[in-house]
Amino acid sequence: MKRRPFVVGAAIALVALLVAGAIFLVRQTALAPKKITAVFTTASSIYPGDEVKVAGVTVGTIAAIEPLGTQTRFSLRIDRDVPIP
């Protein structure tokens, strides 16, 4: 009978861990910012971490900038609730 409280405690801890893991995964996939890549022909004075704005409203940030010959590729993190056409 002394093992039973241990088994119950271990089962409760396992369930709590599974619930915490599920919550973490949902937050990472459903609530995380959208990742978008955009290519521009001109880009100056723009840096990773800068805000992305639409009509003056901040909707995300610039995650990375990569040169592509005469163009520049931007990796953007856009808020999940912002509609993308």
Q: How confident is the model at residue 1 (pLDDT cuts 50, 70, 90)?
A: low
Query: Where along the chain do its domains lie?
Result: 1-32, 33-85
Whether 9 shows a pLDDT value over 90: the answer reads no
Q: Which has the higher per-residue pLDDT, 27 or 58?
A: 58
What is the pLDDT, as a whole number, of residue 40? 92
- The count of other CB atoms within 10 Å of the CB of residue 52 is 20
At 69, list the tokens: 């010959």
Output the DSSP codes for 1-41: --HHHHHHHHHHHHHHHHHHHHHHHHHHHHSSPEEEEEEES
Q: Rounded CA gap, 20 and 53, in Å?
A: 34
What's the mean pLDDT in 7-29?
86
pTM score > 0.85 for this model?
no
pLDDT of residue 24: 84
